[in-house]
Amino acid sequence: MSETVPIGEEELALADNRGLLERQTRVLDLLASSAGLEEVLRAVTVALDELLPGARCSILLLDPKRGTLHHGAAAGLPARYLDSIDSIAIGPDAGSCGTAAYLGSRIVVADIETDALWEGIRDIALRDGLRSCWSQPIFGRDGAVLGTFAVYHGRPHTPPERETRLVDRFAHLASVAIEHANLYGALAESEARFRRAFEDNAVGMALADLDGRLTKVNRALRQLLRLSEKDLLGASITGLVRADKVDDAARALRALVRGACENVQFETVCTAGDGAELVVAATASVVHEAGGQPMYLSLNLLDLTQQRAAEAERRARREAEVAQHAAEASSRAKSEFLSSLSHEIRTPLQAITGFAELLRRLDLTAERRQEALRQITEAGEHILALADDVLDIAKMEAGAIEVRSEQVRLRPLAEEVVALLEPLANQQIDLRLRGPDVAVPADRRRLRQVLINLVTNAIRHNERGGQVLVRTVRGEGRALLQVIDSGPGIDHELQQRLFVPFQRLDADRRGVPGAGLGLPLARGLTEAMGGRLRIRSSEGVGTTAEVELPI
């Protein structure tokens, strides 16, 4: 007859470890197969029920925003009890689980019938034959409470070390399962948000590999380009761009992939499936993987076609309005010009006609005859000079003025002009010359014409006893010809019309001769020689005319 040998502690520990390993493996297999959280937690509670004979286990999940516990899993507890404690608020006296979640520590209630923590829900537990309950908080990796692990018995009970050790092991598995589910839930939610934001976006969007080939396109992009998803997937980004814009787009994308910038923005032209050309604003950026390596490209295309067309229409309308105003101004200027020219020509013509009539009808003395001929000659010369000036101004406006560049020495040129105009000064104006000799590339005849006009103006618009200084100045890379007078100066408002042909300003009032062509002609000739003419004047002080020429 065989003798029964009692099982020792080593054999019991070995059996516990073997059973624990089998059940842990079962739970881990569920996690690896992406099973749902409820299925994994149920496997945890079933495993503990099997390892703790007489115990019934449950897991409650904490809603941190509301501060309530909700059913997670429980294989052996009555459904009505689970319904009764679902959504229980945590607190310092909310039964074993509510208190454990609130305090973040293990709570052991050996007898529900007498423990004050169960005051409000004691009858619910006793009704379903639950007499003892101890609860272990389930902690996440950051130390936050995720839920509770509870062990119930049908009699008063205090957990031994083996029971608490097993619960600790499976609480850790439950923690992994909960955080795994939270992570995948967050990822799924994030993916759903991205999908909605991507697919429902009004802006054309696409994802592309690092070679620039499209891997995903949204509805707005398909509608914008009038192409199907089949046509777009695998197509090159640069293949969508008009031929003359390909190099710019490719250069921008290469800089992006190379890491020279975080994102690129450029305006380009795409060709739609129906052949229409679309002006688009493109924004591209790189999406990196967890390790920081570039993974793929994100591309946005915003249609600017209508906006640019509207801008072009507004610009054309503005240009048309400007052209109309310019034409009207030109027409007015032409009328004023012809009126002024008619006046300037009529006066000397009347002199010629009058003196010619005198010569024809009257028997004049030799002296009177010579005077009449002189007047006719001067009037003819005035008309000829006026015609030459008008022709020069017309050539300048047409860009056809002829200048011949040569090395011109300013000092001898200025001496020649001063000597020529000294009779005009007639000992009433002190005409002087100062400054060094400077050679500049210019048209000597045209530059002499400019200087004559400026010095003539300075003498005519001066006052008896006044001074006119012609000065040459050598600067860095430039030379100046200055004509400085001590006349009455020019009113500020009149200065705005200095270079308008036939604008004699207040010359008529002051009895100063001239047609009003000297300054416009001088400025045009100066600019034709690559120089610049400036007039500075102050009332009561005088006027300075300055010709600047490059050396």
Please compute the mean of the pLDDT values over residues 81-91 and round it to a whole number: 91
Which segment of 41-45, 104-108, 131-135 scores lowest on mean pLDDT? 41-45
Verdict on whether the full-model pTM lies above 0.95: no
Tokens, residue 490: 């020019």
**Tokens 């090159």 found at:** 236
Q: Where are the beta strands (DSSP E) in 246-403?
A: 263-271, 277-288, 294-303
With both helix axes pointing from N to C terminus, report the angle between 410-425 and 444-460 in degrees, rounded to the nearest 10.
Answer: 30
- pLDDT for position 6: 45
Q: For 169-214, write each residue's pLDDT tens digit.
A: 888 888 888 888 877 766 766 677 777 778 888 888 889 898 889 9
Q: Is 154 in a helix, a strand, or coil?
A: coil
Please compute the mean of the pLDDT values over residues 381-388 and round it to a whole number: 68
Domains of the chain and CATH, by start: 15-189 (3.30.450.40), 201-303 (3.30.450.20), 311-397 (1.10.287.130), 406-550 (3.30.565.10)
Burial tier of 367 (Cβ tally within 10 Å: 0-12, 13-18, 19+): exposed
Mean pLDDT of all residues in the chain?
A: 82
- pLDDT for position 136: 93
Tokens, residue 208: 């592309």
CA distances from 171 to 145, 190, 292, 358 (A): 11, 28, 35, 134
Is the pLDDT confidence value at 103 over 90? yes
Please compute the mean of the pLDDT values over residues 398-403 and round it to a whole number: 68
Supply φ then ψ for residue 482, to 5 degrees.
-115, 135
- pLDDT for position 511: 45
Q: For 436-478, write each residue's pLDDT tens digit.
A: 999 999 988 888 888 888 888 888 888 888 899 999 999 888 9
Instruction: Report how far residue 147's alpha carbon sits from residue 182's, in angstroms, rounded to the nearest whole number.
Output: 13
CB contact at 8 A, 529 and 548? no
Torsion of CA 431, 434, 437, 440, to 10 degrees: -70
Instruction: Report how far residue 287's alpha carbon sits from residue 468's, in angstroms, rounded to the nearest whole number.
Output: 76
- pLDDT for position 166: 87
**Tokens 């939270």 found at:** 182
- pLDDT for position 257: 82
Is the pLDDT confidence value at 67 over 80? yes
Q: For 30-54, write each residue's pLDDT tens digit.
A: 877 777 888 888 988 898 888 888 8
Q: For 324-353, write each residue's pLDDT tens digit.
A: 876 776 666 666 666 656 655 666 677 778
- pLDDT for position 334: 64
Instruction: Report how far residue 149's alpha carbon sits from residue 137's, in angstroms, rounded to the nearest whole number.
Output: 6
CA distances from 468 to 382, 399, 413, 429, 523 (A): 25, 33, 16, 7, 20
Q: For 268-319, write each residue's pLDDT tens digit.
A: 999 888 888 899 988 888 888 777 788 888 888 888 888 888 888 898 898 8
Which band of pLDDT confidence, cut at 50, 70 and 90, is reported for residue 504? very low
Q: For 216-271, write each residue's pLDDT tens digit.
A: 998 988 998 999 989 899 988 888 888 888 888 888 888 888 887 888 888 899 98
Is the pLDDT confidence value at 2 over 60? no
- pLDDT for position 3: 41
Q: pLDDT above 90 covers what percent of the chain?
A: 25
Number of residues that this document lists for the chain: 551
Q: pLDDT above 70 covers what percent of the chain?
A: 83
Q: Nearest Cα to 534, choosing from 495, 508, 476? A: 495
